[in-house]
Amino acid sequence: MNGSRRKYAIGLTLAVVLAVAAMLPILPALAGPKASKTWKSVAKKLRASSKAEAKADYQLALARAQYLTGSDREDAIDTAKEEFQDAKSIAGDAYKARLELAADLGETDLPRVEIDPADFVAGIDHPLLPFTVGSTWTYEAQTDEGLETIVVTVLPDTKVIMGVTCTVVRDTVSIGGELIEDTLDWYAQDKAGNVWYMGEIAKNYENGRLTDLDGSWEGGVDGAQPGIIMPALPAVGDLYRQEFLMGEAEDYGEVLALSESVTVKAGTFNGCLKTLDGTPIEPDATENKFYAPGVGVVLEENPETGERLELVSSSLK
């Protein structure tokens, strides 16, 4: 699935080895590393930008509160103050999380990936992410807003990104039968078997109306960098960037286990890969994903709340 929900292996061709090793390290987390000066400078700028945006939103909320009277005005002002403080706190946490992730990855510079189209193959047949055209997966989760339903479909369409012909995967999210997100994700597999995440266009809806395209990005556009969504040969401790567009798409993944057993509505699956996925943009918004061989994602679970998004059914081609 995408990035708001929503990877290194032995045997890479020389060109990809050099690109990944130099630009997109996938390494076991190191003990107590320090972030580079470049990353410290960038993280400070992003923190300042987030705080400035929070202050602008706060001032706007105060201005709009002037339309209200009595207790309604007071409540609006109090809410604005709370949201302003929360936003500043998140900006500070994001600053720390960015530095920790960059340090753990051993990055001395910002992520920069060199893509050679000759290193990629047609289609995606990774056993843990079998994106065969026509395959579908349906997931469900109980939320405070109602029953969340996600349908993932591998389309026959393709999209060329950075010279690579990518597979298009559609991901729709509904709550209580109302569409809230409709995303097209773009993936490609290299000759070594790594599946790359090349970008997405995310359409977000509210009350049936398109509200924004937040979370959208495309590799090679405005500095956006593709990442690995699934390593060819996952190993416990692997840490990798799944995507990178500064301040917009900064998801990462870490391999936690290789042979988990998972029971969901669609059945029991053994030999599952377990990952921890997160983003420095929202440091507390992490999730565990479980991938079953020959099936793909069968479960997403919030490690803090235990909330589960379970595979209900699938039709694999």
Share of the chain above pLDDT 90, in %: 83
Whether the CB-CB separation of 235 and 219 falls below 8 Å is answered with no
The mean per-residue pLDDT over the stretch 295-304 comes to 96
The mean per-residue pLDDT over the stretch 55-60 comes to 96
Where are the chain's structural domains? Answer: 14-28+112-315, 37-105
Q: How does pLDDT run across 90-127, given as a tens digit for each residue?
A: 999 999 999 999 999 999 999 999 999 999 999 999 99
Residue 87 has pLDDT above 60, yes or no: yes
Residues in the chain: 317
Instruction: Say what the pTM is.
Output: 0.84
pLDDT for the residue 73:
95
pLDDT for the residue 30:
41
Q: Which residue has the tokens 């391999």?
A: 255
Characterize the bridge pairing of strands 195-206 and 217-218: antiparallel
pLDDT for the residue 27:
47
C-alpha–C-alpha distance, residues 11 and 236, integer Å:
18
Q: How does pLDDT run across 254-270, given as a tens digit for each residue?
A: 999 999 999 999 999 99
Q: How does pLDDT run across 127-181, given as a tens digit for each residue?
A: 999 999 999 999 999 998 899 999 999 999 999 999 999 999 999 999 999 999 9
Whole-Å CA distances, 14 to 19, 21, 22, 116, 240: 9, 10, 12, 11, 19
Q: Which residue has the higher pLDDT, 14 or 289?
A: 289
Q: Which residue has the higher pLDDT, 6 or 127?
A: 127
pLDDT for the residue 1:
54
- The domain defined by 14-28+112-315 folds into YmcC-like fold (2.40.360)
The mean per-residue pLDDT over the stretch 199-226 comes to 94
pLDDT for the residue 31:
47
C-alpha–C-alpha distance, residues 55 and 285, integer Å:
23
Whole-Å CA distances, 289 to 121, 146, 310: 26, 22, 10
pLDDT for the residue 44:
96
Among 162, 107, 116, 108, residue whose Cα is nearest residue 14: 116
Residue 10 has pLDDT above 70, yes or no: no
> Running DSSP on this structure, what letter comes out for residue 180?
E
C-alpha–C-alpha distance, residues 25 and 23, integer Å:
6
pLDDT for the residue 33:
72
